[in-house]
Structures are given as structure tokens and as C-alpha cells.
Amino acid sequence: MYLETILILSQKSQAVRSLDVAEYMNYSKPSVSRAVGLLKTAGYISADPEGYLTLTEPGREIAAKIYERHRLLTEFLMHLGVDSDTASQDACKIEHDISDASFEAIKAHALKPKHK
């Protein structure tokens, strides 16, 4: 979720800091600081001397994959009649556990042209 949040925030502003991530996710600063440290160590993000966060290419790939899943699953659930808040919350839960095969099947179904 941290990588996805950094991606979302970076689409709104060039400058993303740990504080922005904490506020967006409603997490404590120490929790975000720890996660940022782990993500830097793993090579998914980098931070400049002022603390601005940037996704590395591997981090961007993972974030984009998760964000695509979140958007499509939210829209799909809303199409089924789920309200937007619940759909977004449920999509967040599903996006991390769903297999690639199942997601691709849902995606193919959701993007299939509708015949009238």
C-alpha cells in the first residue's frame, strides 16, 4: 500500500515526503518511517537529502500493478451495485491477495464490450 500511495501522491505533486504518506494513509509518522526504510533497503524507493521520495523502476512497476488492480476492482464492484466507499475498501483488501490469473479474468470480463 505504501508504494501505491507514493505513486498516487506523485501523480498529484512532484514532491512526496514521508509526512505526506502518513497523512494520506492516516498512519503514524514512525510507522511510515519504518516502512520507508524497509522499502529503501529493498530498492523500491529512493529518498533525496531533503527527504523527497521517488519510486525506483521496480517500485513503480509494483505500484502500478497494485493501483491498476485497485481501480479496476473498485469500478467492477461499483458496477455490481456496491457503494463507492465500500467498493474501494474491498478492492484494497482484494488487490493484495488475488492471483494474477483471477485478476486477468476479471479484467477481461470487465473490459469486454457490452452487447445491447
pLDDT band at 13 (very low <50, low <70, confident <90, very high): confident
Same domain, yes or no, for 73 and 45?
Answer: no
Model pLDDT for residues 77-115, shown as the tens digit of each residue: 999 999 999 999 999 899 889 999 999 998 888 877 766
H helical segments located in the chain: 2-12, 18-25, 29-42, 57-79, 84-95, 100-111
Does 28 reside within a domain?
A: yes
* Orientation angle between helical segments 57-79 and 2-12, nearest 10 degrees: 90
Task: Give the pLDDT confidence score for residue 110 in this predicted structure.
Answer: 82
pLDDT at position 99: 92
Same domain, 107 and 74: yes
Within a domain: 116: no
- Residue 51: domain span: 2-55
What was the pLDDT predicted at 84?
94
Same domain, 73 and 98: yes
Q: What is the DSSP letter of 114?
A: P
The residues, ordered by sequence, that sit 6+ positions from 96 with a Cβ below 8 Å of its Cβ are 1, 66
Same domain, 70 and 32: no
CATH at residue 23 = 1.10.10.10
Count Cβ atoms below 10 Å from residue 69 Cβ, excluding itself: 21
25-41 per-position pLDDT tens digit: 999 999 999 999 999 99
Quote the mean pLDDT of the chain: 91
Which of 35, 55, 75 is the last residue in one of the domains?
55
The domain that contains 100 carries what CATH number?
A: 1.10.60.10
- Identify the pLDDT of residue 116: 58
Do 67 and 51 reside in the same domain of the chain?
no
pTM (2 decimals)? Answer: 0.82
